[in-house]
Amino acid sequence: MKEETAEQAAARRAADAERKRGSRKKEREQKERIAVAKKLAEATTFPEYWQQQRATLTDDQRAQFEQRESDVLDLEFAMRKYVDGVYEQTTDTENRVPLEAIKEEVQLEIQTHGLLESIVLIVDRLWGDEEKDLRERIARKSDATAKLVQYGYRLAIDSSLHERFRQFMTVSQPNAGSGYVWMQCECHTPITSREWIQKDIAESYRARAMKWLCGPCRGKENNSRAQAVGVEYRRPASTEDIYDSYGRLRDQ
């Protein structure tokens, strides 16, 4: 048998060392998986399970999930206030968003992210091996729901809230011939500039050649007038009686 050269012997030893390193790595990873699975199995509540799962995320991943969840919760907050009929009473004028704009944002959200089925959280120990089939079916159907189960982040609108909002829109959205028309502020801001207004009020605006202003623009105009005269702006009592906080004619 031909003796191996020094170069061949070195290459053989290097290959053998690499094989052993790979074997040790696989063994270590297997032990880590077993340890993680054991720890997850010890979780008794979703918060415990989520805390363990979130520890596997990078700082950037956590930041993205948290920002996304914040956006969803803000939109759901507005949806609930509209559904509960308290939006006008509980929202400052400058922060109000027309219902139609909320509707459009909800539609875009669903098209982009789907719906969240938080009802699955009633399943006890959904993270366990005995519920693997259900988890896999959830993952195939809804990524947002799968992420909720795994990490606890709410990354899409909840389906139950969406259904309540859909029913609310069915009975509250003005239709053609309902006596309401769109009024558009000249700022054309997508979220705030459009609103349904009673037809007779809109006609009064047009008859008087008055421009309709959304809440933010009304506030800016008032501030500009105050600065122009060098004193705090005050509307005459007669004007206060005629216009509401949006600068629209009150329904007489």
Nearby residues of 96 by Cβ (< 8 Å), 6 or more positions away:
87, 88, 192, 215
Question: What pLDDT is attached to residue 233?
Answer: 38
Question: What pLDDT is attached to residue 104?
Answer: 92
Give me 115's structure tokens: 């719906």
Question: What pLDDT is attached to residue 244?
Answer: 53
Going residue by residue through the chain, which has 252 residues, state the pLDDT in tens, using 9 for 90 and above.
567 787 877 888 888 888 888 877 777 666 555 555 555 557 889 999 999 999 999 999 999 999 999 999 999 999 999 888 888 889 888 888 888 899 999 999 999 999 999 999 988 889 888 899 999 999 999 999 999 999 999 999 999 999 999 888 876 655 555 566 667 777 766 545 556 566 666 777 777 777 777 767 777 776 665 565 444 434 444 444 444 544 444 554
Give me 167's structure tokens: 């029913």
230 HSE (CA, 13 A, CB side): 0
- According to DSSP, the residues that pair with 199 across neighbouring strands are none
Question: What pLDDT is attached to residue 23?
Answer: 77
Question: What pLDDT is attached to residue 54?
Answer: 93
Give me 189's structure tokens: 């801001």
Q: How many CB atoms lie within 10 A of CB 192?
A: 19
Distances (CA, A) of 206 to 182, 183, 210, 212, 249: 13, 11, 6, 9, 11
Asked if 155 and 147 touch (Cβ cutoff 8 Å), the reply is yes
Distance, in Å, from the CA atom of 162 to the CA atom of 243, rounded to the nearest integer, reads 34
Judging by DSSP bridges, how do beta strands 180-184 and 157-158 pair with one another? unpaired
Distance, in Å, from the CA atom of 214 to the CA atom of 182, rounded to the nearest integer, reads 12
